[in-house]
Amino acid sequence: MPVRGIDHVAITCADIEATLDFYKRVLGAETHYEAEWREGKIPVVILQVGESRMSIHDAASPAKPHADHPTPGSEDICFRFDGPITEAQALLAKEGVEVIEGPVPRPAADGALGQSVYFRDPDQNLLEFLTTDG
């Protein structure tokens, strides 16, 4: 099968600056093409989160083509976390991010059983840290 996985996820946000700040602080994301986006040369800014990328779309002017109903807060994204679940909880606490559920047992994409904690970004998207490191 020539499809090997997801290349990136696009999310719609109400406030790009708040979104960039949150993902940089809490998930250690790095931006790509931020200067080009700020100069209006491209319609999105890209966040690199580990091996994954996120395309950040402004709700007021989402890049085309886009979802039928691009809406801030409609996403549910799971990030693999390397380390024990207690480290994920400590990171969220340090950044003042409320855990809304967890830790709870969850299966990972590779079939391993892990632990997850759930929290929200500035647009109220549901985010998850999933670890299989205990």
CA distances from 56 to 15, 73, 88, 97, 99 (A): 10, 13, 24, 20, 23
Closest C-alpha among 9, 8, 13 to residue 58:
13
- Is 70 exceeded by the pLDDT of residue 67? yes
pTM, two decimals, is: 0.91
Residue 134 has pLDDT above 70, yes or no: no
CA–CA gap between residue 115 and residue 107 (Å, rounded): 8
Banded pLDDT at 63 (limits 50, 70, 90):
confident
Terminal Cα distance for the chain, rounded: 33
Question: How many whole angstroms separate alpha carbon 100 and alpha carbon 23?
Answer: 18
Query: Tens digits of per-residue pLDDT, 74-108?
Result: 999 999 999 999 999 999 999 999 999 999 999 99
d(CA 111, CA 116): 14
pLDDT tens per residue, range 1-50: 786 788 899 999 999 999 999 999 999 999 999 999 999 999 999 999 99
Assess whether 51 carries a catalytic annotation. no
What is the per-residue pLDDT for 7?
Answer: 86
Domains and CATH numbers, the chain: 8-61+71-131 (3.10.180.10)
